[in-house]
Amino acid sequence: MTSPSIRDVLLNRRMLICIFTGFASGMPLYLLISLVPAWLRSEGVGLAEIGFFALIGLPYTWKFIWSPFLDRYQLRLFSYSPGLRRSWMLSTQIGLFLGIAALGFLNPETQLWPVAWLCLGIAFLSATQDIVLDAYRRQILPDIELGLGNSIHVNAYRLAGLVPGSLSLILSDLLPWQTVFVITGAFMLIGIALTLSIQEPAKSDLHPTTLKASVIEPFREFLTRQGVKQAGFILLFILMYKLGDSLATALATPFYLDMGFTKTEIGSVAKFAALVPMIVGGMLGGILMVKIGINRALWLFGAVQIISILGFALMARIGEGLWLLALVIGFEYLGVGLGTAAFIAFIFRTTNPAFAATQLALFTAITAVPRTLASSVTGLIVEGVGWENFFYLCTLLAVPGMLLLLKVAPWNDEPKPVTNQESPESL
């Protein structure tokens, strides 16, 4: 069977849908991490209190706890029944529009706790929307399009950050905060328009028929389909594939400062050199996966990731030169874009569409573990061994994930698509 042309894959309605799902998914998160802290600080809230607002991000980590409800229950809105996936999409998007718009009507100086609870509610709705948008993409994208579709989604996700992180900040110098948050919230209408214009995925009725089944069946199905030993390899691979890369970039900004670069140089050179290659890498990786497959992409892009980490070690040894800073950062984030494209495609391919909400929420939660680990221990490691040796250690820690590819994604083996021929049995 011949693979489709790049043009056929790029220019289909599914890729357009992925642009909109990425935008709708990214906008609320960047509001919470970019616009809300700026708003609080401008209204006189202390840095300590703003720091505690990081806890509102907990729903993104623990979303797998309520994900079974999204595989089991369909919501009805004013007697309108849009289907299992679309009902959750529409409900969360309406809630996000209203919640974001309502923020500006609170006074952070006198109503900090109501602001915190409303932000937590926005985070919960955003994380829930992420669950169902991931599940929807899993059901509409054939395996050969998983890499490109998710690359487009991730890039649109990042670009959505320009709304609260740039446009809304500019507007805040010209308009009252009430108006700014209403305008920002109105961008969720793009997601609502998407939900109203698309159809429920084919065979969307193939989902658990009881809540007990929606909790147990995703795990049972995964273990039965893969086997306990292979499932263990897959989970270990999900944990290890990005470990070295996550460690290497966890303290990137302090590393640049220690190398003698000014904050202006870091902001103008390093950040730009990171964003563009990451987007290019993600798109290039998605396109290449259409031709070479996910397994080979994991091997090739993983190798680029490992080599790119060594660029940091080179910088640690030389320690100067803006050209070297831009080159090293650009190559590293090209590796990040490529590796992430293949990694996300693998995770999506590993799930069963009927249990996509729960399985994807669990797998993506596992991927957050290396980032959490990196945030907690990298400083101690650097203080003990120095920057250059630290990056050599990161390179070594990237090797086990590559070796696990022998078990989970052999070079010449592309598994058959996961399909459900009948509904999961009730428990």
pLDDT in tens, 254-301: 788 888 877 777 777 766 677 778 777 778 888 888 888 889 999 998
Task: Answer whether residue 36 is part of any domain.
Answer: yes
Q: How far apart (Å, rounded) are the C-alpha atoms in residues 390 and 378?
A: 9
257 with 183, same domain: the answer is: no
| CATH number for the domain that contains residue 13 | 1.20.1250.20
Q: Are residues 299 and 402 in the same domain?
A: yes
Packed helices 84-103 and 177-186: angle between N→C axes, nearest 10 degrees: 170
Determine contact, residues 217/420, Cβ cutoff 8 Å: no
Structure confidence at residue 82 (pLDDT): 74
pLDDT of residue 422: 40
Query: Where does the pLDDT of residue 375 fall: very low under 50, low under 70, confident under 90, or very high at 90 and above?
Result: low
Amino acid at 77: L
Of 379 and 267, more confident: 379
Query: What is each CA distance from 140 to 136, 217, 346, in whole angstroms?
Result: 6, 21, 16
Tell me: do 242 and 349 sit in the same domain.
Answer: yes
- Look at residue 22 and tell me if it is in a domain: yes
- Render pLDDT for 170-220 as a digit per residue (tens, 0 to 9): 898 899 999 999 999 999 999 999 999 998 887 655 677 788 888 888 889
Identity at 69, one-letter amino acid code: F
Structural domain includes residue 289: yes
284 and 191 together in one domain: no
Same domain, 43 and 192: yes
Indicate the residue among 197, 219, 239 that finishes a domain.
197
- Indicate whether 202 belongs to any domain: no
Does one domain contain both 100 and 228? no
Contact 24, 194 (CB under 8 A): yes
Whether residues 282 and 328 share a domain: the answer is yes
Same domain, 162 and 257: no
Task: Select the more confidently predicted residue: 189 or 422.
Answer: 189
* CB neighbourhood size of 95 (10 A): 18
Number of independent structural domains in the chain: 2
Asked if 271 and 295 sit in the same domain, the reply is: yes
Which tokens in the block code for residue 40?
Answer: 């609080």
The boundaries of the domain holding residue 11 are: 6-197
Angle between helices 271-292 and 146-160 (to 10 degrees): 160
Q: Is residue 414 part of a domain?
A: no
**Does pLDDT of 133 surpass 70?**
yes
- Please indicate, yes or no, if residue 396 is contained in any of the structural domains: yes
Residue after which a domain boundary falls, among 197, 221, 241 = 197
Q: Which amino acid is at 181?
A: F
Q: Does 419 reside within a domain?
A: no
Q: Which are the contacts of 337, defined by CB distance < 8 A and separation ≥ 6?
A: 277, 278, 279, 280, 281, 282, 283, 284, 285
The tens digit of pLDDT for each residue in 68-110 reads 988 888 887 755 667 888 999 999 999 999 999 999 999 988 8
Residue-wise pLDDT tens digits, 315-333: 888 877 788 888 888 888 7
| pLDDT tens track for 137-151 | 998 888 888 888 888
208/215 Cα distance (integer angstroms): 9
The model's pLDDT over 20-66, given as tens digits with 9 standing for 90+, comes to 999 999 999 989 888 888 888 888 888 777 777 777 878 888 888 99
Give the separation between CA 51 and CA 67, rounded to whole angstroms. 28
pLDDT for 238 equals 92
Choice between 413 and 196, residue whose per-residue pLDDT is larger: 196
Mean pLDDT over the full length of the chain: 84
Asked if residue 395 and residue 256 are part of one domain, the reply reads: yes
> Is there a domain that residue 206 lies in?
no
Q: Alpha-carbon distance 98 to 95, whole Å? A: 5
Same domain, 33 and 151: yes
Q: Model confidence over 153-169: pLDDT tens digits?
A: 988 888 888 888 888 88
- CA atoms of 123 and 127, how far apart (whole Å): 6
Among 197, 221, 243, identify where a domain stops. Answer: 197
| 28 and 85 housed in the same domain | yes
